A = this chain, B = another copy of it.
């Protein structure tokens, strides 16, 4: 897609940073709708929302919700990595299939990066699976400027490695 198209689409996005109680169910539906995550992974996504609702910033989880026409079209969840001075994890990024292909994922990453930089973060890590299912995911991260860092064999399960990407913020 051209950058003009992306602009036209991202124009209508409202970013929101504080989850609402209703986001537990919205996030569950959205993450499940991507057909990309196991049930236990969907449960973890919802747990992070609940942690933030219960504890606020002390939870260590920060959110960017992309509200489009009153619905949550996608969201990202990130947070500082404890015991590091400048590293952040991007835990989740998911876009509703109905809104995919319009630059929304890229906009969510860019907005997360802006907030992380403002908070003093300098390195962002993304962890994903080395399985073939995730080839397009890894391609997306690479197009967003994330660089392969290390691979940890057998991490997620038999034959399922963890691949770690990193982006150094300017």
Q: Which residues of A does B touch, CB under 8 Å?
A: 38, 40-41, 44, 81-87, 123, 125, 149-158, 164, 166
Cβ-closest chain B residue relative to A82: B44
Shortest CB distance A76–B (Å): 17
Shortest CB distance A50–B (Å): 11
B150 close to A151 (CB less than 8 A): yes
Q: How far is the CA of A39 from the CA of B155 in the complex (A)?
A: 31
B83 close to A156 (CB less than 8 A): yes
Cβ-closest chain B residue relative to A37: B83
Copies of the polypeptide in the assembly = 2
Q: How far is the CA of A123 from the CA of B123 in the complex (A)?
A: 27
Q: A150-B150, A150-B151 are in contact. Are A156 and B84 (CB under 8 A)?
A: yes
Contact of A123 among B38, B85, B87, B155 (CB under 8 A): B155
A40: B residues at CB distance < 8 A: 82-83
Q: How far is the CA of A158 from the CA of B85 in the complex (A)?
A: 8
A155 close to B41 (CB less than 8 A): no
Shortest CB distance A129–B (Å): 9
Q: How far is the CA of A83 from the CA of B85 in the complex (A)?
A: 26
Q: How far is the CA of A140 from the CA of B124 in the complex (A)?
A: 30
A154 close to B123 (CB less than 8 A): yes
Q: How far is the CA of A83 from the CA of B18 in the complex (A)?
A: 25
Shortest CB distance A169–B (Å): 12
B41 close to A157 (CB less than 8 A): no
A156 close to B87 (CB less than 8 A): yes
